Amino acid sequence: MTTHAAAAEQSPLVRRRGRIGRGTVLIVGVVLIPWALALAFNNYGPLTVDGAIQMAFATVAGQTVAIISAVTAFVLTVRRRYAWPAVVALGIIAALITFSAFSMMASAGDTLVDRLGAVAEADQLNS
């Protein structure tokens, strides 16, 4: 019996579950999804109340996904038993992403108030 035949008999075809990498989670969740939401819900026409609210909600939704992705990457690091420097480093990265996302959410609220004021002013000038 050859070694190939023996190996084929001992190990049937077993599909290994695909592992999603930490980097993939971070890139997709922190960069791609918030960017896609911002593009999808951007107000490409004249600024309206609905458009301003839509853009603010897209920003908040995108940053919520970013926070969840950072926490998920951290949990993956801990559950896969990476070395402690990797856990600490990703913990710091997750904290920075979280603080940045909260800051962007607050900025979205300020921008929404400014945009609603601009729409109200334009309506007042037009009437």
Residue 30, in any domain of the structure:
yes
Structure tokens at 5: 């035949």
Domains of the chain: total: 1
pLDDT band at 12 (very low <50, low <70, confident <90, very high): low
Residue 11, in any domain of the structure:
no
Side-chain half-sphere exposure of 86, counting CA atoms within 13 A: 13
**Short-list 64, 73, 61, CA closest to 27:** 73
Range of the domain at 84: 19-126
Structure tokens at 63: 């940053």
pLDDT in tens, 46-105: 999 999 999 999 999 999 999 999 999 999 999 999 999 999 999 999 999 999 999 999
Q: For residues 95 and 78, what is the distance between their CA atoms, to the nearest angstrom?
A: 15
84-95 b/e (C-beta count within 10 Å ≥ 16 → b): eeeeeebeebbe
> Which pTM was predicted?
0.81
